[in-house]
């Protein structure tokens, strides 16, 4: 008796298990791709410890593995073998379950790549990925059942090959769940000695991704930046600053150390390693070699606050005041949740979003005032404390994507780089007012800089890019000049220095300021001429 061709050639449970492992890795939360990275850069940028999150990811992947294995087995039972020119195949639409399955795998893979920031292009979405893969398979089925069977077999083989990665992925996640990591303090304040005499102060405001060209040369028509303009009229402006890097995680540590940094990575414990060239040896970040350590040796009190970089971890011994804002974990994972809470966190969030949409809407308070930005609040506290002599404030603006509406003056989802510039100007006005209110304005030098310019090439095809961004950038033109301005105490006249100066020179410049070697515009101009 001839076997039913639709039920012939089913694979074994072992093959289904390996294929299910591959499907589980594609279906898993996108966070696992960063957790599995050998650079450990995610541990460096996240609030530690992440051990309960790593354990939860391991459990989630194991559960997905079991579920995906059963799903493959059920699909085989429902559709049978697809190979061969079988007349009955076109009359049996159940074989299209494979199209839905691979569409789901594609959508979840794209979601993971977006979460892990491997994919930036706004044209690629999970819905489009699903429709593309499922749609192509349906078209192939309509055109040729034999070709459809061959295509599905090839896709299954690809997923099976991915499945072998489970041999190292799951053990890696389990191991990550048991490494020793510090419990990060998002802020701290140490007692500082009472100054016996007034001391010079430096307030260093670093606006992430602020472009000199967009602020002063090719400003968007109608964009008002009164505080930046006012500061420029009282400051030395270096108009030809050469960038020394493209990424915040490289540039800011290089400014603090005074060394060029080409690449940064993390360790299991969340510490920072860096190297100065592609083939240079990796070095461990040493806070004792930074500007803050030098300031301490000069008798200055030190404070820092900022986003993205774990300042309170890597500079805990060199700072008297610290606050940091690290990126939140996606999919509702959290270091403050237990392992089991994190296991169900993505599912619970999706359940609430689908079945309790009212609760999600009630959790949103709508547009927020400027005062609700933590960086603004903590910047006020640091700058307003006259007991802190060296104040470093790293603000995550005007870094895209936009989250401000300059027409309403409210913090919102959306907006453009131009909106973020307007918000940066508002915050600058507030910070300058903090200096005045501190009672130390007559002895405070203000430095305004950025780590790099507006990276048009990075953002142009990414999520959040707007028509206003396209027009403001001149349809993709990139001007590499970052910002660098300095206002010395009592300065009331502008001075522009057009000498090319490397941004990394800021380190040496501040070193000399700490030692009292540069205290006025003339000395700064002489310093620039030697660069």
What are the tens digits of pLDDT across the range 12-34? 888 999 999 999 999 998 888 88
* pLDDT given at position 174: 95
Domain boundaries, the chain: 9-175, 200-328+366-529
* pLDDT given at position 531: 85
CB 214 within 8 A of CB 472: yes
**What's the rounded Cα separation, in Å, for the pair 325 and 173?**
25
Pairing of strands 241-242, 444-449: unpaired
**What's the rounded Cα separation, in Å, for the pair 34 and 37?**
5
CB 481 within 8 A of CB 213: yes
**What's the rounded Cα separation, in Å, for the pair 454 and 416?**
12
Tokens matching residue 368: 């927020």
* pLDDT given at position 484: 97
**What's the rounded Cα separation, in Å, for the pair 502 and 507?**
10
This prediction has a pTM of 0.89
* pLDDT given at position 519: 92
Q: Which residue has the tokens 């307003």?
A: 384
Instruction: For domain 200-328+366-529, give the CATH number.
Output: 3.40.720.10
Q: Is the torsion defined by CA of 136, 131, 34, 403 positive or negative?
A: positive
Nearest to 426 by CA among 379, 489, 385, 476: 379
Nearest to 238 by CA among 505, 507, 517: 505
Nearest to 445 by CA among 531, 521, 522, 530: 521
DSSP letter for each residue of 141-170: HHH-HHHHHHHHHHHHHHHHHHHTTHHHHH
* pLDDT given at position 88: 46
Nearest to 50 by CA among 171, 168, 180, 188: 180
Which residues are within 8 A (CB) of 153 and not within 5 positions of it... i.e. 6 or more apart?
82, 83
How many of the other CB atoms lie within 10 Å of CB of 191? Answer: 7
Tokens matching residue 467: 């028509």
Backbone angles phi, psi at 486, to 5 degrees: -140, 130
Which residues are within 8 A (CB) of 341 and not within 5 positions of it... i.e. 6 or more apart?
52, 56
Nearest to 299 by CA among 187, 200, 446, 435: 200
Backbone angles phi, psi at 329, to 5 degrees: -75, 145
* pLDDT given at position 303: 97
Question: Helix, strand, or coil here: 462?
Answer: strand
Identify whether 242 is preceded by a cis peptide bond (ω within 30 of 0). no
102-113 in b/e form (b: 16+ CB < 10 A) is bbbbbbbbbbbb
Question: Helix, strand, or coil here: 414?
Answer: strand
**What's the rounded Cα separation, in Å, for the pair 105 and 75?**
14
Nearest to 341 by CA among 329, 325, 354, 358: 329
CB 303 within 8 A of CB 322: yes
- Per-residue model confidence as pLDDT tens for the chain (531 residues): 343 434 434 568 889 999 999 999 999 988 888 888 889 998 999 999 999 999 999 999 999 999 999 999 998 888 765 433 434 455 567 788 999 999 999 999 988 888 877 777 767 788 899 999 999 999 999 888 888 889 999 999 999 999 999 999 999 999 999 999 999 999 999 998 876 677 899 999 999 999 999 999 999 999 999 999 999 999 999 999 999 999 999 999 999 999 999 999 999 999 999 999 888 999 999 999 999 999 999 999 999 999 999 999 999 999 999 999 999 998 889 999 999 999 998 887 777 766 666 554 455 555 677 766 788 889 999 999 999 999 999 999 999 999 899 999 898 888 999 999 999 999 999 999 999 998 899 999 999 999 999 999 999 988 889 999 999 999 999 999 999 999 999 888 999 999 999 999 999 999 999 999 999 999 999 999 998
Q: Which residues pair with 156 in a beta bridge?
A: none
Pairing of strands 321-325, 302-307: parallel
- Residue 284's Cβ-count burial label (10 Å; 0-12, 13-18, 19+) is exposed
* pLDDT given at position 91: 55
Tokens matching residue 260: 């060029």
* pLDDT given at position 300: 95
């Amino acid at each position: 008796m001839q076997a039913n061709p639709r039920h012939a050639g089913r694979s074994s449970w072992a093959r289904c298990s390996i294929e299910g492992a591959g499907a589980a890795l594609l279906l898993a939360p996108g966070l696992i791709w960063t957790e599995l990275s050998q650079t450990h850069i995610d541990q460096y940028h996240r609030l530690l410890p992440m051990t309960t999150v790593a354990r939860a990811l391991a459990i989630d992947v194991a559960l997905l593995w079991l579920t995906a294995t059963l799903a493959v087995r059920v699909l085989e039972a429902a559709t049978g073998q697809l190979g061969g020119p079988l007349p009955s195949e076109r009359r049996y639409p159940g074989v299209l379950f494979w199209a839905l399955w691979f569409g789901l795998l594609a959508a979840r893979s794209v979601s993971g790549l977006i979460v892990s920031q491997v994919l930036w292009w706004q044209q690629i979405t999970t819905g489009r990925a699903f429709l593309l893969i499922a749609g192509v398979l349906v078209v192939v089925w309509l055109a040729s059942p034999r070709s459809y069977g061959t295509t599905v077999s090839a896709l299954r083989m690809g997923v099976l090959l991915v499945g072998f990665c489970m041999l190292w992925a799951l053990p890696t996640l389990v191991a990550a769940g048991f490494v020793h990591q510090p419990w990060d303090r998002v802020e701290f304040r140490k007692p500082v000695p009472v100054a016996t005499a007034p001391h010079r102060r430096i307030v260093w405001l670093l606006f992430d991704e602020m472009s000199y060209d967009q602020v002063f040369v090719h400003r968007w028509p109608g964009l008002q930046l009164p505080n930046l303009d006012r500061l420029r009229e009282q400051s030395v402006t270096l108009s030809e600053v050469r960038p020394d890097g493209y990424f915040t995680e490289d540039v800011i540590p290089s400014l603090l150390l005074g060394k060029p940094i080409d690449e940064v990575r993390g360790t299991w414990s969340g510490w920072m390693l860096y190297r100065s060239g592609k083939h240079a040896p990796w070095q461990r970040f040493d806070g004792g070699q930074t500007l803050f350590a030098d300031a301490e040796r000069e008798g200055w009190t030190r404070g820092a606050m900022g986003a993205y970089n774990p300042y309170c971890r890597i500079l805990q011994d060199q700072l008297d005041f610290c606050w940091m804002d690290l990126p939140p974990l996606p999919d509702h994972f959290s270091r403050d949740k237990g392992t089991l809470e994190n296991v169900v966190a993505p599912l619970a969030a999706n359940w609430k979003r689908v079945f309790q949409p009212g609760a999600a809407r009630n959790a949103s308070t709508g547009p927020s005032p400027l005062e609700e930005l933590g960086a603004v609040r903590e910047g006020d506290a640091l700058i307003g404390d006259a007991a802190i002599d060296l104040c470093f404030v790293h603000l995550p603006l005007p870094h895209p994507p936009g989250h401000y509406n300059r027409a309403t003056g409210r913090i919102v989802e959306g907006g453009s780089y131009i909106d973020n510039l307007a918000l940066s100007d508002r915050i600058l006005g507030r910070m300058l007012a903090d200096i005045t209110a501190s009672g130390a304005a007559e002895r405070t030098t203000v430095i305004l800089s950025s780590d790099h310019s507006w990276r048009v090439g990075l953002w142009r095809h990414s999520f959040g890019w707007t028509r206003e961004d396209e027009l403001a950038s001149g349809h993709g033109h990139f001007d590499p000049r970052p910002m660098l301005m300095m206002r010395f105490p009592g300065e009331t006249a502008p001075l522009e220095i057009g000498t090319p100066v490397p941004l990394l020179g800021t380190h040496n410049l501040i070193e000399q300021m700490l030692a009292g070697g540069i205290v006025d515009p003339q000395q700064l101009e002489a310093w620039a001429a030697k660069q």
